Amino acid sequence: METETILSLRQQLKEAENERRKAAQYGLHLLESQNEIQNQLDEIRRELTDKTEFAFLTVTTDTTC
């Protein structure tokens, strides 16, 4: 009986470790995805800022001529 209990507990421990490992991998994947999305957002903001500045300079130059 004791041997069965030990084997059962070992199996439960192994399953819990596997689940924890999967959760950690999923969390890492989420962090990587978040970083990629943040990088894309930063790039879009830079592009928008550049376009806005260019449009402002174009309008300013046109009105001063």
Residue 65: predicted pLDDT: 60
Q: How many CA atoms lie within 13 A of 38 on its CB side?
A: 6
More confident residue, 16 or 60: 16
Tens of pLDDT along 1-52?
799 999 999 999 999 999 999 999 999 999 999 999 999 999 999 999 999 9
- Estimate the share of the chain in helix, then strand, then coil, as percent rounded to the nearest 5: 95, 0, 5
d(CA 50, CA 23): 41
Minimal CA–CA distance to 12: which of 20, 22, 23? 20
C-alpha 29/C-alpha 21 separation (Å) is 12
Measure the CA–CA gap between 10 and 23, rounded to whole angstroms. Answer: 20
pTM greater than 0.75: no
